[in-house]
Amino acid sequence: MSQIGKVLAARDAYPRGVMAVMQQHYGALRRALDQNQCVAANNSANLLWMTRMSEQIEPALNPGNVDPRFHAYARKLDARLAAARALNPASCPALRVAARQIGARCAACHAVYR
Ligand code: HEC
């Protein structure tokens, strides 16, 4: 069984916790943007939480980087988060596009590994 397979089979608390926090802040960002509540500080905070959690995906699920494909999926999410953080956090339309692109990175990895 692959390393990720073992972690998934164990249903470890840590990766699930990382993902739960990620979901919380992704959902909060999307909801705020959908409702046109563009509070820059909140947008920045949600993106920062997601970035911190994204940095923990591999320590939690791919320790030692044994799965290069998983690594690529994780890095693509990081790249989207970095692009979103580079935007003006008060710019709802731009962030809306960025948030959709972030969501696509979540879905792409989940389609293969979740
Ligand atoms: C590189 C791969 C990868 C990326 C990117 C990724 N996830 Fe996950 N995610 C997983 C895997 C693997 C699981 C299954 C973990 C488990 O059940 O132990 C999972 C599970 C989850 C779960 C369910 C947790 C549970 O308690 O069962 C949620 C919610 C979640 N992810 C949200 C997100 C969100 C939101 C994003 C993007 C912002 C994201 N994930 C990005 C791999 C990824």
Ligand 1 binding pocket includes 105 (Cβ within 6 Å): yes
76 Cα nearest atom in ligand 1? 5
* pLDDT tens digits along 34-78: 999 889 999 999 999 999 999 999 999 998 899 999 999 999 999
Distance 22 CA to ligand 1 centre (A): 8
Q: Do the Cβ atoms of 78 and 14 come closer than 8 Å?
A: no
* Residue nearest (by alpha carbon) to ligand 1 atom 38: 106
Answer yes or no: pTM beyond 0.85. Answer: yes
What is the per-residue burial (b if ≥16 Cβ within 10 Å, else e) of 35-47?
eeebeeeebeebb
57 lines ligand 1 (CB under 6 A): yes
- Name the DSSP class of 114: -
Domain that holds residue 95: 3-113
Number of domains in the chain: 1
Letter string b/e over residues 20-32, b meaning 16 or more CB atoms within 10 A of that residue's CB: eebeebbebbbeb
Q: What is the CATH number of the domain that holds 104?
A: 1.20.120.10
The answer to whether 99 and 42 are in contact (CB under 8 A) is no
Find tokens 């397979």 and name the residue: 5
| CA proximity to 86, closest of 53, 34, 51, 39 | 51
Number of the ligand 1 atom closest to the C-alpha atom of 62: 1
Tell me the average pLDDT of the chain: 93
Distance (Å, rounded) from C-alpha 77 to C-alpha 41?
A: 21
